[in-house]
Amino acid sequence: MIINADLHLHGKYSGAVSNDMLPRTIGEQAKLKGLNLVATADILNQKWMAEIKKNLKEEGGVLSDDSGTKFILQTEIEDQNRVHHIILFPSLSKVMEVRERISRYAKDLDTEGRPKVHLSGEQIAEIAIEAECMIGPSHAFTPWTSLYKEYDSLKDCYGKYSDRIYFLELGLSADTDMADRISELEDITFLSNSDAHSPWPNKMGREFTSFEVNEISFEELKNAIMRKKGRRPILNVKFDPREGKYHRTRCMNCLVFYSLSDAESFKWRCPICRKPIKKGVAERIEELAKGRRTIHPDHRPRCLHIIPLSEIISLAYNIRTPYSQKVQEIWRRFVEKFGTEIEILIRSDQDELKRIDKNVADLISAFRNNEFKYVPGGAGRYGIPVPPGKKAVYKVWNGTKAIEVDVRDEESYLSQPSITDFM
């Protein structure tokens, strides 16, 4: 069987998370999105664990709710070097085992959904692996709290347990073409997860991984991540990385984009406003790749870019927010007809989509045909998808000053000598 899985969420006790992020709401919305398996989120937090136990039923290490959505036990934790890690647990008893072992190193275990644990990545990996859990880096390339922000290799972070790290989360600002420039990741399974702080379909499931398994269980998921016994990932579905908040190197204040060489020459201070320049994921991967181009190993599945349906509807009708009444009414009409948002975005027939709404169907077709342009994300600002023919500008440093660039002039921009391979 093929399942769609989003293995990184946050519950309502994490910072900056919607109060709607509740187990039953997550389960109901996951079904509308087209997700079969989602993470419980934040399972080490005692209050969140009580919510999970109250609302979900455990069956062989996987939980379920009345909607039929399955949940895998999961948390994200921050280590002493501000590196974030995802842990997947085989059972609630193993959750308690890990919780007991790290409790003396985490003062905020029950006041925060994503606790800060005053241990190294290697020490946390030891605890997780001895409890028969799976562990790997969250959003591995982002410039604030990721493995490759702090280290140059998996071994630098996980030490003697680096060969027991079987997955890496790409994060919104990278895709498989980018990550497969790094030679040490050839044998690693890439996960695309949402890291959602809200249960609505433009957040939860905005990135997911499709797996081939025999059933939904921890052991089957583990085998799929490790690519054993015929189980395997078959598709990474995610944002175009240009839409991610940290895709390109950019000034944190005036939002001018810089090449890596220019940012280094300015010692990471913007020459215009003197505020910090934040290194982008694309530039960090450029450093790590050391000139290597993309080489996909034979096991790497296809990577498919999508935009949440509510965002496409907003663009089709020039509506600022995907939460407006009109957007939600059109979204419901599509989902009532086709069943799930994933079906609409990936597989539904174009003529059938037009019967619901031609404007939206035309934009879905344009996106499928790679006709969108982007104002790239960077410095904590999401990138902006731009439909075909629409004008949108952003500022770049051309070697001597900041200039405005229109997304429609991508080719002339790429020819600028001081910046390479920007789009």
Q: Do 130 and 270 lie in a common domain?
A: no
Residue 190 lies in a domain: yes
Which of 217, 238, 259 finishes a domain?
238
Q: Do 111 and 234 lie in a common domain?
A: yes
Query: Residue 200 CB: number of other CB atoms within 10 A?
Result: 22
Residue 391 lies in a domain: yes
Residue 423 lies in a domain: no
β-pairing, 208-212 vs 302-305, is unpaired
- Residue pair 247/386 in contact by the 8 Å Cβ criterion: no
Q: Do 280 and 381 lie in a common domain?
A: yes
Q: Do 209 and 253 lie in a common domain?
A: no
> In the 8-state DSSP scheme, what is residue 345?
I
Residue 282 lies in a domain: yes
Scanning the structure block, which residue is given the tokens 């347990």? 161
- Residue pair 317/307 in contact by the 8 Å Cβ criterion: no
Residue 250 lies in a domain: yes
Average pLDDT over residues 319-345: 96
Summarize pLDDT for 155-191 with one digit per residue, the tens. 999 999 999 999 999 999 999 999 999 999 999 999 9
CA distances (Å), origin 192, targets 55, 77, 101, 159, 240: 26, 18, 29, 24, 12
| Distance separating alpha carbons of residues 65 and 45, to the nearest angstrom | 20
Q: Do 9 and 40 lie in a common domain?
A: yes
Q: What's the structural domain count of the chain? A: 3
Residue 422 lies in a domain: no
Domain region containing 280: 243-297+372-414
pLDDT value of residue 59: 84
Q: Do 260 and 384 lie in a common domain?
A: yes
Q: Do 120 and 154 lie in a common domain?
A: yes
CA distances (Å), origin 401, targets 6, 262, 302, 419: 42, 11, 39, 13
| Distance separating alpha carbons of residues 26 and 56, to the nearest angstrom | 11
Q: Do 50 and 166 lie in a common domain?
A: yes
Structure tokens at 305: 């870019």
Summarize pLDDT for 183-197 with one digit per residue, the tens. 999 999 999 999 999
Q: Do 219 and 337 lie in a common domain?
A: no
| Distance separating alpha carbons of residues 239 and 172, to the nearest angstrom | 6
Residue 36 Cα to chain centre, angstroms: 17
pLDDT value of residue 408: 86
pTM: 0.94
pLDDT of residue 412 exceeding 60, the answer is: no
| Distance separating alpha carbons of residues 68 and 86, to the nearest angstrom | 24
Residue 303 lies in a domain: no
